[in-house]
Amino acid sequence: MSGDHHHEPGFIRKYVFSVDHKVIGVQYGVTALCFLFLGFSLMMLMRWQLAYPGEEMPFIGNIFGEDAMPGGVMLPEFYNSLGAMHGTIMIFLGVVPLLVGAFGNYVMPLQIGAPDMAFPKLNMASYWVYLLGGIVMLCSFFVPGGAANSGWTSYPPLSNIATTGQTWWLFGMVCLITSSLLGSVNFIVTIIQLRVEGLTMFRLPYFVWAQLITSFLLLLAFPPLEAAGVLQLMDRLAGTSFFMPEGLVVSGVVQTQMSGGGSPLLWQHLFWFLAHPEVYVLILPAMGIVAEIIANNTRKPLWGYRAMIYSTIFLGFMSFIVWAHHMFMTGMGTKISAFFATTTMIISIPSVVILTALVISLYQGAIRFTVPMLFALAFLPMFAIGGLTGLPLGLPASDIHLHDTYYVIGHFHYVVAPGTIFAIFAGIYHWYPKVTGRTLNNALGYMHFFLSFVFINMVFMPMFWQGMAGVSRRLYDQTVYAHGDAVQSLTIMSSWGAWMLGLAQIPFIINFFISAVAGKKVSNNPWDATTLEWLAPSPPPHGNFETVPVVYRGPYEYSVPGASEDFHPQHVTTEA
């Protein structure tokens, strides 16, 4: 970190092993979008088997090989691999790296006026460890027995006796967790230490707050899974019995090689200690993006900015003590379940507060229906559905019927797919001009939004009815059950929705690449926004700002009475 580097770095230093937060942000973004697309493709394959169980897949059925799809018919082991890897890739390789790695890395230092992240080399290391984890995960598809197929939750003993892919999964997860840890340390230090003069904590854009809380969640929730991953690796490679009780008989073979004495519940506790805060890692930065865009496009300060921040802090804290609501069905008594059901009900309150604040922010605004705004607006009802359907799952009694059914799938997909992923799209449309200096095409953008909005609902809405009917999740073929067969038409509808949703992404993909070279050139502040990132040139140079800005006011000073313009940037000296 020493010495002067005033000479121009070479291509590799500048664009590949770069320590510039913007390059790393773009690297994260592009890689994660690729993984997002891959994860989505896996799901589209699964949807064929779900809709038309045991039928030959048209067109592409024969390219997956005899071990996965003999004669074009998907085998259950491949289906389970797809399911497990869809979850893992979407969450750990797609959405989190996009929200934190890409948006956090690119936008957050700009929004606080910092020249870079506090530890640039650590930042670079974080990306490369993430990429390594991603490559390990991808390679696992090609090992004997295929990729991990015990679900993204990897419950032992099943995962302990699973094929080699599971070991790869664990190594991949250890890499990804390490990457997140490095990133979160960096984020917290950057936000606390590197804010420019005048940018007090309560003048920070809500997005930065969301990133701060998220980083704390990553920092404190991920290590237990790393430990659990090490324990499972020990179980798989060194023959220990952390998660295995004695006397198991697998396929008629008595498992005498292991000592026993462990418990499968231990994994579930350690896993969900991570995975519940993880849910908020998925949603908080998304809320941050949405809040930025809503304030910008309603031309009005956010309603209840402080209440939102307090709610976010509370949400972050509470998210650590609700984890066992995923485990109501594991033989839990009344006391622990009462505790966790209560905390679960409590944690819904701050979510309601944030959502209310965002919707009241629309009131008396002047809403511009730009493409990012449409995605941000769609986030609100979608997240509301996702949140509300969490209630029956959080109450132990109604969870008896709905646990591990499609209702759960519908619930959390409403939070992360039309919720978080729409927020990601909103963010891409919003900050694309900052990254490239050009805007995305509007017509393609509108097309992308409307098609995605309709079809994503067509995918997930039927799942609530399927869940009500009692259909278990992760079934290779639900028609073997009478109650599943009765709602098979919903599955087919869902599948068609998914494929159509896939087609709906084509305008976006075209837009994303063409506009980078041929999009309309825009000024530094095309959206007439107030936060600091719009002060920097588009794209920002190395070191971000020509002169270090000073901040004089809060983040969302729009439509200040008596001002000549309807926005009043944070760095402008003059009072309105």
User: Closer CB to another protein, residue 12 or residue 252?
Assistant: 252
User: Closer CB to another protein, residue 475 or residue 535?
Assistant: 475
User: Closer CB to another protein, residue 101 or residue 301?
Assistant: 301
User: Closer CB to another protein, residue 33 or residue 498?
Assistant: 498
Q: Which of 279, 272, 177, 174 is nearest to 232 (CA)?
A: 174
User: Closer CB to another protein, residue 1 or residue 518?
Assistant: 1
CB of 564 to another protein, least distance (A): 13
User: Closer CB to another protein, residue 367 or residue 516?
Assistant: 367
CA distance 205 to 74: 48
The secondary element (H helix, E strand) that includes residue 411 is helix 406-415
Neighbouring C-beta atoms of residue 307, cutoff 10 Å: 15
CB of 550 to another protein, least distance (A): 14
CA distance 60 to 58: 6
User: Closer CB to another protein, residue 34 or residue 62?
Assistant: 62
Contacts of 397 (CB under 8 A, 6+ apart): none
Q: Which of 173, 187, 66, 46 is nearest to 119 (CA)?
A: 187
- Amino acid sitting at position 458: M
Q: In this structure, are residues 354 and 287 in contact, taking their beta carbons and an 8 Å threshold? A: yes
CB of 510 to another protein, least distance (A): 15
CB of 150 to another protein, least distance (A): 7
CA distance 128 to 248: 40
CB of 34 to another protein, least distance (A): 27
CB of 300 to another protein, least distance (A): 4
CB of 431 to another protein, least distance (A): 21
DSSP conformation class of 329? T
CB of 367 to another protein, least distance (A): 5
Contacts of 159 (CB under 8 A, 6+ apart): 148, 150, 166, 232
CA distance 502 to 509: 11
**DSSP-derived 3-state class of residue 283:** helix
Q: In this structure, are residues 399 and 329 in contact, taking their beta carbons and an 8 Å threshold? A: yes
CB of 513 to another protein, least distance (A): 21
CB of 179 to another protein, least distance (A): 13
CA distance 84 to 141: 11
Token digits of residue 359: 């919707």
Torsion over CA: 363, 365, 370, 371 (sign): negative
User: Closer CB to another protein, residue 442 or residue 523?
Assistant: 442
- Amino acid sitting at position 407: Y
User: Closer CB to another protein, residue 102 or residue 324?
Assistant: 324
User: Closer CB to another protein, residue 365 or residue 418?
Assistant: 365
- Angle (deg, nearest 10), helices 442-468 and 371-388: 10
- Omega cis (within 30) before 539: yes
- What's the first-to-final CA gap in the chain, in angstroms? 42
Token digits of residue 257: 């090689």
* Residues pairing with 147 in the sheet: 165
User: Closer CB to another protein, residue 12 or residue 561?
Assistant: 561
- Three-state SS letters, 374-424: HHHHHHHHHHHHHHHCHHHHHCHHHHHHHCCEHHHHHHHHHHHHHHHHHHH
421-426-428-429 Cα dihedral, nearest 10 degrees:
150
Q: In this structure, are residues 387 and 348 in contact, taking their beta carbons and an 8 Å threshold? A: yes
Q: In this structure, are residues 170 and 236 in contact, taking their beta carbons and an 8 Å threshold? A: yes
CB of 39 to another protein, least distance (A): 18
User: Closer CB to another protein, residue 222 or residue 534?
Assistant: 222
Dihedral class, residue 562 (left if φ above 0, else alpha if ψ from -120 to 50, else beta)? left
CB of 455 to another protein, least distance (A): 8
User: Closer CB to another protein, residue 132 or residue 468?
Assistant: 468
CB of 125 to another protein, least distance (A): 13
- Amino acid sitting at position 22: K
